[in-house]
Structure 1
Amino acid sequence: MRKQESFLYDVFISYSSADQSWVTQWLLPHLERAGLRVAIDFRDFVVGAPRLEEVQRFVTQSHFVITVLTPAWQESEWNEFATLLGRTLDPAARRRKLLPLVLQPTSLPPLLLAPRLEVADFTTEAKRPQELARLLRTIQQTIPPRVWPDGPELTPPLWWRWWLRYHHRQLRLGGALVVVLLLTLMMAARIAPFQDRLVWLADSAEFPNAVALHSTGTTLIVGAENV
């Protein structure tokens, strides 16, 4: 799990203006309904500031960057984005931060092919619910939930689901340790099924044809076949 860092945003979305309708009407609402703090250009960029500088600012201030990959994004955004990433992030940081989302079939840029990044495939309607769940799971298992719901977008039930997803590894390990500890205590206290049991011991007796044993208190009766 990634070392805790301080970010203003959970996700920054990089997309082409040609895909803005889908991003603002579908992707953005789903991310924010999941309780994520999302940075996006039309709402968060400072008016009058150089666009590339604003992109750089939000890339560095966000846990993750979702790139909505389409032919239009490659034509309009790729060159500036590649320059920005090369200048801002080392290869290891790019692998941790980038979340490629393929909205339309397109060839992946070299910067994404080189580290063989896993992509979310949103190219068909049928795949989107499953891929959205996978995308959210990836984000929420890395980003710690806020101390407690801090707004209507993150209700207590959602906060608890996020908390469980984020801490699921520790919970599994803790559960296994509790089971081992309980079993150890039961053995030490001789609690069923670890209680003492009466057994018969014979130092030198041999019963090669024995077929049954029966106890009558202080006597052990051995049943054997006739020979």
Structure 2
Amino acid sequence: MICMLKNKMMHAILITSGVVLMICIYYLWSHFTGDTKPTTAKVFARIESIYGGEITDFATVGHTYEIVLHKQNEQYNLTINAATGDVESLAYLEKTIDKKNIKTKKHMSKKIKKLYPNSEFKVHLTEQAGAVVYRATISQDNGEVEIILNARTGEVISENQAVKHTALISTKEALRIAAEQEAGKVEATEFIKTTSGGYYLITLSEGQTKIVLQIHGTSGELISKTIKE
């Protein structure tokens, strides 16, 4: 009876010792391989140290941290692996602008409506050459107008007219026009951009003969035809 108790106790001791040994081995392995999950505070401290900024917002999404990092006048969005602390992605969000003493977007929109009545426009706040400005794009029948206004005074700094070009025909359409002009296998297609819109150069081959067609990029008209024997 005593022998049986001793055997059971010895068996229990061996099992307990084995479990303790396994725990110790796992702890040592984790310690030396770095396979320990870092705390949130350590992850954030490491990110701020590496990028030299300050974390202003974060959210836990699945197994990652979504972090907003503020550095000087810029903001970045980082995705961090919560288990390892590694940076999975980094994206530039926006440049923060000092909005002290500047006109509101609503105020500037009213000014633009007075300058360009019955016109659609888009306006946004930005920086240019160190100055805070509003940049507006106004759509008109003959093209677009881009104006830049001083965000603090409302003064128009610049105004540029962008000429509206007729839409270019597609390569597929140019090839169709070429096929109507000449029969042959298409050897090459090239688009040459010009101030008037541009043109397509389409090279066809028929036996030993090569034909180069020049087709206007907006009207689709045949400009020239060159035959090479």
- TM above 0.5: no
Q: TM-score, normalised by structure 2?
A: 0.25
Structure number having the greater helix percentage: 1
From the CA coordinates, give the structure whose radius of gyration is larger.
Answer: 2
Higher relative contact order (CA 8 A, sep 6+): 1
